[in-house]
Structure formats: C-alpha cells, structure tokens
Structure 1
Amino acid sequence: MRDCPARSSLPKRSAQQLLGAVVFALTSLSATSVTAQSTSGDSASANDCTAQRDISVVLSVVTEQFYDKTFNGLDWSAEVADAVEATQCSDTTKQVTDRVNQLLSRLEASHTALYSQHDLDYWGLNSLFHFDGLDAYTLPFPGVWATSSDNRWFAQHVLNGSAADAAGIREGDELISLNGEPFDPVGFVAGDNQVQVSSDGQTVREITVNAPVQSVMRAFVDASAASARVLDLQAIGKRIAYYRIWAARDQIQRDFQASMEEFTEADIDALIIDLRGGFGGTSEDYLSAVRFMRAQNPVPVFFLIDDSVRSGKELLAAIVRRDNLGTLVGSTTAGYYLSGRMNRLLDERYFLYVAVGTFPTPGTGDIEGVGVAPDIEVAPCRQHCNGSDPILDRVLQLIIAQ
C-alpha cells in the first residue's frame, strides 16, 4: 500500500469535489455493511491509504443516511472535505474514530457516533443488534462498564452478579491499572486479571477479577436476572422488591415479567425498578407486568433514572410519568430518542450509528434533546463513591419513612 502525500502537498480542490470523491452508493436497509472497494477518478486520493479511505467511507454513509439534510446548519460538504484532508495515512483507527466523532458531535443528534474495536460500545452495540443468539461478538468482559473523565477511568456501572461485582468493584470506583498497564476497558484477558482500584480517591487496592469470554448482551441478560431480589427489612417490617433492566431482549422481558409475578406473590411493600445503565430498545410492553402487579397489589413503585437512561428506556420513564405508574427518582435522562440505523463497516472494523429519523412520543412530550426529568431529583455519584448509591439510598429512605 502506498503512503499518502503529506497534508501540505494534497491538491487543492473544492469542497464539493472532495465530497463527490467519497460518496458511495448505499442500500437503505436498516443494517448496512460496507467493505473496502477500489474506485477511480477523483476518489483515488481517498484510497491512497487506509485511514483516508476509512474516513471517506464512514462519512459517505453519514451523508447518505443522516435524517437532517441541513446537517444542523453546517456546510457539510466542506466539513467532510476538511476531515478527509486532515487525515494522515499514519492515523490509527482510534484517531479516525475520534476525528469522525468530533464532526458528528456538531450535528447535535443522538444515535450518531462511530465506534471501533477499541470501544466497549462497539462490542455492546454489535451484540445488541445480533438477534441470532447471545454468543456473537464476544470478548473478555467481567461486567464493569467504565467511562473516562480527564484521562481517568471510573466504573460507571457494575453488572449485578458479574465477576466484577463478585470481586468487589463498585460503581464510582476509579480503575487505575489493568495487569500492570493503564486501565483499558477492552484490555481484559480471559481468566484472571489484576486490577488496581480506588473507591475514595486516596487508598488503592489490587484485586483479582476473572473475565469470562462473553458478549455484552449475554452479560446484560444474566445481570438482569441476577438483579431480581426481595429485601426483607425485618427491623421495620417491610419487604422491598428490586429489579434492574439492563437492556431490551426477549429473555430479559420474560424474566422481568416472571419476577413481577413472584414479587406479587411475595406480598411486598414497595417495588424498585432500576432503568440506569446498559442499552435502550425497550417498548411499553415492559410496563404491562408492572400494571398487572399494581392491580393485584397497589404498592408504591419507584423508577431509578439518570443520564445513562437512553432511547427505549426513556420512553418507559415518560410513560411512567404520563400514566402515573410510579415515582421517578434520580436525574434527567439523556434525551437520546432519534431512530438510529446501525452500519458495520470495512470488514466490521467500525460500527457506525446514524440517526435516520424521529421517533413518536405517544403523548409524553419531547424526549430528544430534552430527556425525562425525575419527580424527585437526586444527583448521581460518578467518582469515588465509596460504594454508595445516592439515588437508591434516597428511595430506600422514602420507603422506610412511609
């Protein structure tokens, strides 16, 4: 493969010419796969090196599919041309991904982002959109969903019953190193891993975390089932049921419905449904089990929300408010409610999510860009939480006080 010319030696062409050089014919299927292909004429410079070819293909898909043809008021053809021209042959897939996402963020639209195999979202979204079983797109994954802040990693979510949970990692813990290297959320190896963590930002402990090879969706299904429990607070004479919906999947919906039936028979005094973390995709059908349970046993129901609640789970929160099915506690949801199309690109080295349209809100008010506000606001803890969960703690206080 030839090296591409240095940026300063690229021929000067109009933005429209450069855009024309990268447009590909695409299908209108809900899932699109694009592999590398040779072109001729004006597009030759975009194929001189892998990085330029990659960004050209990715942005051509966005140009074709993005629902807002004004591109949020941007001179889109010029922006694409600048991004292609700025890309160097030596750029890694991460650098290509970062450059694309910098541009996509200016569209100010949900469900519009690029992921590579270096991102946990790549593995999660691919497994979410793989409907033939739960064992595709696997990686060593112990069940900790980490996010970065100022080049430091924190456990935003720890899946119920996961290896990370069993090892003692708690939400808000800082994840300092993994097997002697700076922490990387996709850097686990199959089997035992040594992880340095800090719960308070001062003391550091090293723990062993076993990472099973599994898909993220498999982990979400197992974690949802593992979350179901009844807290028997004998000291105050209350029984509190809890369930966390990690994602939308038939197995999760069936387990959720079965758990609601069990909770009804358990003669509970309150129900907590945790919508935080994971993925969306849920439909109003998930609330049918709650409606049935409340008809049998009209106990207080609390739904936990924050800005990690997105898409279909935001619809659930909005319907809860519309139909007065319970109390929303936490912070405002993400406001990610556009209809997205997934694209596996370039031999599946990239996963591109593109907003392709709006999604109806059945009498709930706008969600995209707004989110769903809580009835009782409680700020979540994101860093060095010492194992505490302010949102859950507040709900328990409310239940105990009743």
Structure 2
Amino acid sequence: MIWLTWRQFRAAAATVAAALVVLAAALALTGPGLASRYSAGITACARDGGCPRFFDRFFDDHQVPFLAVTLVVLIVPALLGLFWGAPLVTRELEAGTHLLVWNQSITRTRWLAVKLTFTGLAAVAAAGLCSLVATWWAAPLDRSAAPGFALMDPLVFGARGIVPMAYAAFAFVLGVTVGMLVRRTVPAMALTLALFAAVQIVMPLAVRPHLLPPVSASFELGPENVDSFSKAGDEEFQGNPPPETPTTIDVVEQAYFCVLANYYGGATLDARSLLTAGFAALVPELNRGGRDLPEATMPALTGDRHADWAAFETAWRRVTGLLPQDADLQAKPAAATLQAIVTALDDDHARWTHGAARPPDYYDGDQYGLGLHANLGRTATPGTALPPLFVTTVLGGPAKEAGLRPGDVIESINGSAPFVDGEVTPAAVAALYPQYPQAGAVRLRLLRQTTGRHWTVTLKPGLYQPDPAALQVVTPKLLRDHVAYVRLSGFAPDAADRVFRAISRLGAGRTLTGVVLDLRGNGGGSADEANRLLSGFAHGKVTAYQCAASPDTKDTGDTGDGACAPMRTDDSVPLLGLPLVVLTDRGCASACEHFSSAVKDLRLGQLVGTRTAGAVSSPARPYLLGDNTTLMLPSTRHLAPGREVIDRVGVAPDHHVPQTPKDAAAGRDRALDEALNLLHT
C-alpha cells in the first residue's frame, strides 16, 4: 500500500521538491550578503546613535523581496491543501480505483490511513523546509521591520517558525475532508481554497488577539540605550547608576550649585528663592514628627550665593542635629528640602528623580492607577482648566471593573469638588492619577448625563493591563474622501519616520486629499523628532529657538534670553505636499507644543481643538547626585518660530472645539469632524 501511494504521489512530490530546491538556492545565494549588510550597518550606526534610521532604510531597501518570500511561505500551505489534499480521495472516487484496492484484501481503514499519513507528513515536511529557509533568510529584516511587518503581526507570524507547518497540516486535512464530502475534484479544490483563505484572514484578525493577552516589554536604562549620565560635577558616569543611598544635606548642596551652574537662567536666578523654599519645606517635616524646634528659624540672606548657602547649611544642620541620629529620619528633611528647591524653579522639565519603584507583582506592560483618563491631566492649571471634569478614556483596571464609561461626569473626588467657583482644585484632580506606592482608595461621585444617574464608586489603585491599542505610538486609518488620519501618542525616537510610512501606506493606490494629525494627549518626547516631522510639511524654515539665559537682561528686553540657536527643518525629508490639520488639547505638551506652535506660526496647517498644556522647555539633561538619584535640568528655553514664549501659555487653536461629556459618551469627535470640514472647504 505504501508503494502504491508513492507511485501515485511521486510526480507531485517531485514538483514540490524541485520548487523548494530553487527557493532554497535563491535564498542561500542572497542570505549571507543580506546578513553582512545588516551587521555592517548595525556596527556603523551604533557609533553615531542613528540605528532607528538605519533600520528604516535597510528594511525599505529590501521590502519587496521580504514581502515576496513571506507571501511564498503563506501560499505554500494553501497549495498543498489544494493540490495534495483535495484530490487525494476525490480522484480515487471519480476514477473508481478505490474499489480495485478494496478488492485486493486492503481494508478501507488501512487504505485511508496510509494515504493520509504518507501524504500528510510530506505536506508538513515541505512547509517546514520552506519556513526554515525563509526564517533564516529574513532574520535581519525581521529585526529591523517597520510597524505592520514585525514578527507578531498577522502577515509575518503565519510565515515564520512552525506556524506554516501547522497551516499545512490544517490545509491538507481540510482538503481531504472537503473532497470526501463533495466527491468532485475541481469543486473540492475551489471550496478548499475559499475556506482556507477565510481561515487565514479570520484567525489572525478576529481570533488570535483573544487567545492570550498581549505582552509588552520594558527595558531598563543601561549602557545599551543610554550613552551616559553627567555627574553634578565635571565627571561622566557611564551605564546604570548604583543603588540609591539616603539623601543628606551634602547632596542638597550639590543639587543647589548644580542648578545654579546648569539650569537655564541659573546665572541670573535669585538663589534666595530656592533656599527659602528649601527651609520652608523643612518645617512641615519637623511638625509631622512632633519635633518643631525654636532653632528652626530661617537665616538672613544677602544675595551672595555662597555666603547664603553657608548660612542656610549652618541653620539646617543646627536644627537637624537636635533630631534623633537615625539615617532614615535624617534623610526625610533632606529629601523634602531638595524637592522644594527643584519645585521652586516652577519648571515642568526640571525634576528630581528618586525613590522609583515598581509594584511587587509588576509584569511587562502593566500600568498602575485607577485605569482612567479625564479631560484634565495630573497637573491641571488654575485659570485655564474649565469645568466639568469627565472621563474621556477607560483604560482598564479598577475603572473598567466599576463600569465607568467615557462621558461620565466626576462631581467630587474624595468629597472635594474638582471645581470651586469655576476654578480647578489641582489636588483633587491629581488624586485621579495615583502613582505607586500611593495605594489609598479614591471615592468618586459620578453623573451619567445620558440617564441622569448619580452614584458613588470607590476605586483602589492597582496594576492593570491596558488596552493594547492605547499603547500604540502611531495609529493610522483612512477617512472619507481619502483623508489620512494619524494619531501620534508621543514623539518617540523614530516617530516622524513612522508617521511618514503610515501616510505613504494609506496613500498606496489612491490620491490623498489631506492629513489629520491627532496630537491630543501627546505628552511630548524628542524635539528632534518633532522637527523632522515638521520637515515633511516645509523646507527652509526655523521651527523653534533654544535660547540661553542672558547674563545681562538689560540687553535683551524683559525676556532674559541671550544667544538663541535656531532649530531648522531637515530639508532632506521629502515634502508630503498635503493640506494639514492638527488636533490639540491640554494634554499636548513639550515636543507636541514645539510642533503645534510651528504649524501655527509658519502657517503649515490649522489647529483644531483646545489650547495646549503650556509645558514646553528644552530637552532636560540628567545629572547624577551623590545619593545616586538623578536631577533633570533644561539648559535652554524654548521659543516658538515667532519668538513668542509657549511655556505656561500654551498654543491656542485656530478653531476652538472642546470635547463635552455628551460627545465622549456618544463616541462623537467634533474636533475631527471640524478638521474634515476644513480640508474640504
């Protein structure tokens, strides 16, 4: 029976074997060169930090053969099911040869088992060999693939590793089953092809995402992805900082003089404001422990930075010297003092990073909090934030479990109204965004306007897995009238090129009529990426100025700015040549405001939505302190192309279209509707 099966099968087997030999030869000839170019490119880009752009160029240069090889591997299982599975039984039934076999003392079970086993194993082996050579050849491209072509994306996942073998087994069994039911070879082949194609589409798009929750990876800052930290002196610190140690007054001194030497405006800053804030923070720490002392008196300050520090340090040591000599107890006043000095700068980009910790049960991709976003962020600004406060997004976790929905109005937080006489209560709003280890329950009084329901929920902060779509940096889609819509959640290191690729793919086979760039909730990132993205809409322009503080403000008017370095467009970036509308809100900050202000000043497009956050500065540089904590300080100030200040002011939209609770509840996006109207008027 095995010999008979081989006689019937050998022509088809020889054809597939020949095709595999040709494919393997072609990949064996080109694979080593591909790997060599990838290795050389990685070596070169690692020296200048340009690896993201190398990945883009390398993949774009080899995208056509990459897609061709991937499609071949995807098609092989279908062909095996079509030409090996479907005719396996139907050919015998149509010709009647099965009756001859059954009359030769061969049972039906043995006849079918031998044919299925022999041919089925051959089909799985053929698909496995095809996948093996393709996976080996495409390894460099898989490591540099653009979004949409990564290993776990539907197109590529089915063409790597053992997945094609599983598809081949399924296609073969499907073909045999359909053939036995239809009993006609050509209709069985056609039906097999249709059913297998449907499964290949439905499985990755509708079934696989629900089999297991997606897993995201987090990477610790280290020598591989951070060139260096600067110590708060003149040394460079390479790699990861050592574990933190208790903060002392010596560390506070180091931070104080680091601010004066490296912070924008440090040369002209009145240092007395920093020391006053630092001493004021010491008093509550004494009160908390019931240890307020008569010696806790602020010394007189003269304006001489070194003399004032000496007086401050003497008074501080005199007070804390009367406290119990416990390292942790001594560290709390020092930490409070240092934090107050940094806070006194009143700069969103100046911060002291310390005490960072993860929850014990943290897993890659987890987030901590209540699992919601509201129309106001953690740092709601009095005078600019407007009522009401309402939920805009439910990410998961406690908020999802409690049944909250977009559009739910938050009437009170822990008993406090978020707005009093129209003015926002920042502390109440900040309670919506607890950070670990904050674990206190948050009580919300809610109103659902669609039903008129009032109710109260208590949410306990915790870890949760957010919706994977909320974690995507770039989310493209095609809107009506061939308008390209791209939501950009942050200016990550390769964000600009990812946006350009997304627009290019949306325009494949059609003529785009405009671009809507959604920057709502974009907290910023790389100013260089914002500048590169602007370069797709204009050449030969200044997109911002980074200005040092002037040592003599009399010479520069009341701005206090000295020499300003312009940031210019990268004219090597191809122009898109498309009308642009940008969606903004109070969540658009930092590099997002760099982009928005340039669009407005340079008239590259129109802004729709609400005013931006007003939290923009130059990129902050890290300085390692003596307790192995990090002080982040911007050394220049950002000015828009028209040299206006954006920090604390924000960028006003050309068309003010705020979101309302009813809009959020109905899933209606009036700002996007207005953007589409503008593109077609």
TM-score range relative to shorter protein: 0.5 to 0.7
Q: Report if the CA contact (8 A) 2:409-2:661 is conserved.
A: yes
Instruction: Answer yes or no: is 1:286 the counterpart of 2:533.
Output: yes
Instruction: Answer yes or no: is 1:325 the counterpart of 2:608.
Output: no
Superposed CA deviations along residues 241-271 of structure 1, whole A, max 9, x for unmatched, are 3212111224533431221102323434432
1:248 counterpart (459, 467, 491): 491
Q: Report if the CA contact (8 A) 1:177-1:196 is conserved.
A: yes
Q: Report if the CA contact (8 A) 1:198-1:204 is conserved.
A: yes
Report 1:380-399 matches (<5 A): 380-381=658-659, 386-387=664-665, 389=669, 391-399=671-679
The residue aligned with 1:127 is none
How far the C-alpha of 1:301 sits from its partner, in A, is: 1.7
* Structure 2 letter corresponding to 1:324: R
Cα RMSD over matched residues? 5.4
Aligned residue pairs, count: 330
Report 1:133-172 matches (<5 A): 139-140=367-368, 144-145=372-373, 147-148=377-378, 158=393, 163=396, 169-170=405-406
Q: Report if the CA contact (8 A) 2:390-2:407 is conserved.
A: yes
Structure with greater contact order relative to length (CA < 8 Å, sep ≥ 6): 1
The residue aligned with 1:10 is none
Output the TM-score relative to the length of structure 2. 0.38
User: Aligned partners of 1:246, 1:72: CA distance in 2, in Å?
Assistant: 35
The residue aligned with 1:260 is 503
Report 1:310-349 matches (<5 A): 310-333=589-612, 334-343=614-623
The residue aligned with 1:17 is none
User: Aligned partners of 1:397, 1:240: CA distance in 2, in Å?
Assistant: 11
User: Aligned partners of 1:72, 1:382: CA distance in 2, in Å?
Assistant: 42
Superposed CA deviations along residues 4-57 of structure 1, whole A, max 9, x for unmatched, are xxxxxxxxxxxxxxxxxxxx953466999586568xxxxxxx84xxxx788667
The structure-2 alpha-carbon separation of the partners of 1:137 and 1:174, relative to structure 1 and needing over 3 Å to count, comes to same
Report 1:294-309 matches (<5 A): 294-295=576-577, 298=578, 300-309=579-588
How far the C-alpha of 1:276 sits from its partner, in A, is: 2.5
Q: Which structure 1 segments of 5+ residues have no match?
A: 1-23, 39-45, 124-134, 233-237
The structure-2 alpha-carbon separation of the partners of 1:371 and 1:77, relative to structure 1 and needing over 3 Å to count, comes to closer
Instruction: Answer yes or no: is 1:67 the counterpart of 2:310.
Output: no
How far the C-alpha of 1:302 sits from its partner, in A, is: 0.5
User: Aligned partners of 1:377, 1:97: CA distance in 2, in Å?
Assistant: 45
User: Aligned partners of 2:432, 2:348: CA distance in 1, in Å?
Assistant: 28
Instruction: Answer yes or no: is 1:113 the counterpart of 2:351.
Output: yes
Q: Report if the CA contact (8 A) 1:197-1:205 is conserved.
A: yes
The structure-2 alpha-carbon separation of the partners of 1:186 and 1:145, relative to structure 1 and needing over 3 Å to count, comes to farther
Q: Report if the CA contact (8 A) 1:157-1:277 is conserved.
A: no
Instruction: Answer yes or no: is 1:376 the counterpart of 2:654.
Output: yes
Superposed CA deviations along residues 207-229 of structure 1, whole A, max 9, x for unmatched, are 99996569x9x987x4233x311
Instruction: Answer yes or no: is 1:85 the counterpart of 2:333.
Output: no
Superposed CA deviations along residues 172-231 of structure 1, whole A, max 9, x for unmatched, are 8649899xxx85544699xxxx999655596458799996569x9x987x4233x31123
How far the C-alpha of 1:273 sits from its partner, in A, is: 0.5
2:472 counterpart (202, 223, 233): 223
User: Aligned partners of 1:196, 1:94: CA distance in 2, in Å?
Assistant: 35
Q: Report if the CA contact (8 A) 2:608-2:671 is conserved.
A: yes
User: Aligned partners of 1:176, 1:343: CA distance in 2, in Å?
Assistant: 40
Superposed CA deviations along residues 288-342 of structure 1, whole A, max 9, x for unmatched, are 44565743xx4x3211123432222222223323443211223443151234223
User: Aligned partners of 1:355, 1:136: CA distance in 2, in Å?
Assistant: 30
User: Aligned partners of 2:489, 2:366: CA distance in 1, in Å?
Assistant: 18
The residue aligned with 1:126 is none
Percent identity for Structure 1 against Structure 2: 14
* 326-335 vs 102-111, which moves further: 102-111
Which protein shows a greater Rg? 2
Q: Report if the CA contact (8 A) 1:153-1:183 is conserved.
A: no
User: Aligned partners of 2:662, 2:251: CA distance in 1, in Å?
Assistant: 38
The structure-2 alpha-carbon separation of the partners of 1:383 and 1:68, relative to structure 1 and needing over 3 Å to count, comes to farther
The structure-2 alpha-carbon separation of the partners of 1:251 and 1:57, relative to structure 1 and needing over 3 Å to count, comes to same
User: Aligned partners of 2:462, 2:275: CA distance in 1, in Å?
Assistant: 48
User: Aligned partners of 1:272, 1:304: CA distance in 2, in Å?
Assistant: 7
1:271 counterpart (515, 526, 536): 515
The residue aligned with 2:644 is 366
